[in-house]
């Protein structure tokens, strides 16, 4: 039996960020990773650090995403200093492009609502019409109506980020265990015992960051985590010289020159296959937005499963039944990586979640008593 300060279940972006955050506070962390048989959302990620569309009606989510985006600037530097790995983090702002006037008008309403709901510091945005957007992105096609812009948006290379988090964790004395699917989980207040990969781990703290596996694991730790898969498909092109001056929700150009095309949402269960119809729809929308892409070749196409809660928000909670057990799940492992490492890990270390995260409890999915 190996004794740790914290066991983190889930070696993807969420678990790795929290485990690293614990290790940088001097806690001995064990990170258990199921292996390549798992549905690895963190390996199929689009890589945006995205704020501008998140948190309609839930300003806590908008503020948490914005905080993480702000923390990311120093976080990327920290990871590079710790590990020598450059996550290709960029923070130049981003746009959501609307192809019709109707979309543009709806987008304006949505952004204004985010601003009004935001609280302090105020959420700021700009609506750019076709001509204003063309000044920032001369590549847009004639059909484009306009776009919303915020300075909060950015991007990073999700694979380098995952590698950097693992390397930083090891450097700070944390332990990473591959091929370690949880076999048994025994929970008691501030006393958790996990068998995985033929070994036994025990710790006074437990973090559940197992993506789609959280549904089953949560139930064993007194945490309601009703997550569902949502398939997203991504196209990547050959590498071309930098042409896209700005990040968009649909299309971004990586530091290496590939153009990535994403933004599809399908409810197809645990199926991470690619399909020609989505490929065609993604390509068609990308070409309408940026006509020059017509002559750029797609070289890869993949799908991954987002980890979605019923309302799309993260789930953060400490188990009432088994204090010391914490839930951590979201569909924005890149965006929230900085907040997870620099903030959430601290809450876990201190044994209490702050009021600002109360909105994210899994209890919001419980059936309410009528009287």
Q: Which residues contact other proteins (rule: CB under 8 A)? A: 138-139, 238-241, 243, 256-257, 259, 290-293, 295-297
Smaller CB separation from other proteins, 108 or 285 = 285
Shortest Å, Cβ 289 to other proteins: 12
Shortest Å, Cβ 227 to other proteins: 36
In angstroms, the Cα distances linking 63 to 54, 76, 142, 260, 273 are 9, 20, 35, 27, 34
Smaller CB separation from other proteins, 187 or 296 = 296
Shortest Å, Cβ 238 to other proteins: 5
Half-sphere exposure of 208 (CA within 13 A, CB side): 35
Neighbours of 105 (CB within 10 A): 14
Between helix 158-171 and helix 13-24 the angle, nearest 10°, is 30
Shortest Å, Cβ 43 to other proteins: 20
Smaller CB separation from other proteins, 171 or 300 = 300
Residues 77, 55: Cα–Cα separation, whole Å: 27
Residues 293, 307: Cα–Cα separation, whole Å: 30
Shortest Å, Cβ 101 to other proteins: 23
Query: Minimal CA–CA distance to 105: which of 133, 129, 136?
Result: 129
For residues 29 and 174, the answer to whether their CB atoms sit within 8 Å is: yes
Residues 333, 307: Cα–Cα separation, whole Å: 10
Smaller CB separation from other proteins, 69 or 254 = 254
Smaller CB separation from other proteins, 36 or 256 = 256
Quickly list DSSP for 74-100.
Answer: HHHHHHHHHHS-----B-S-EEEEESS
Shortest Å, Cβ 104 to other proteins: 22
Smaller CB separation from other proteins, 151 or 301 = 301
């Amino acid at each position: 039996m190996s004794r740790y300060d914290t066991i983190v279940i889930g070696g993807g972006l969420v678990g790795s960020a929290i485990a690293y955050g614990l290790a940088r506070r001097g806690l001995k962390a064990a990170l258990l990773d199921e292996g390549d048989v798992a549905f690895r959302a963190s390996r199929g990620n689009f890589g945006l650090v995205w704020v501008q569309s998140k948190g309609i009606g839930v300003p806590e989510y908008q503020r948490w995403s914005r905080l993480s985006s702000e923390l990311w600037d120093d976080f990327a530097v920290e990871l590079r200093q710790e590990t020598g790995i450059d996550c290709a983090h960029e923070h130049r702002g981003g746009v959501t492009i609307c192809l019709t006037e109707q979309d543009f008008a709806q987008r304006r309403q949505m952004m204004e609502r985010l601003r009004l709901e935001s609280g302090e510091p105020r959420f700021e945005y700009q609506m750019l019409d076709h001509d204003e957007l063309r000044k920032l992105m001369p590549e847009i096609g004639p059909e484009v109506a306009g776009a919303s812009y915020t300075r909060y948006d950015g991007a990073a290379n999700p694979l380098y980020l995952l590698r950097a988090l693992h390397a930083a964790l090891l450097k700070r004395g944390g332990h990473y265990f591959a091929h370690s699917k949880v076999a048994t989980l025994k929970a008691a207040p501030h006393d958790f015992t996990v068998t995985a990969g033929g070994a036994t781990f025990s710790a006074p703290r437990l973090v559940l960051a197992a993506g789609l596996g959280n549904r089953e694991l949560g139930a064993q730790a007194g945490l309601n985590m009703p997550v569902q898969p949502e398939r997203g498909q991504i196209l990547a092109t050959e590498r071309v010289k930098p042409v896209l001056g700005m990040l968009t929700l649909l299309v971004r150009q990586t530091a290496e020159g590939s153009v990535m095309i994403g933004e599809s949402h399908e409810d197809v269960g645990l199926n991470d296959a690619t399909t020609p119809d989505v490929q065609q729809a993604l390509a068609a929308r990308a070409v309408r937005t940026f006509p020059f892409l017509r002559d750029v070749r797609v070289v890869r196409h993949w799908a991954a499963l987002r980890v979605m809660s019923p309302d799309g928000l993260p789930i953060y909670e400490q188990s009432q039944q088994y204090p010391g057990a914490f839930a951590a799940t979201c569909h924005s492992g890149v965006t929230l990586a900085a907040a997870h490492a620099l903030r959430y890990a601290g809450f876990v270390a201190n044994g209490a979640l702050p009021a600002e995260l109360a909105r994210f409890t899994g209890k919001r999915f419980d059936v309410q008593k009528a009287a």
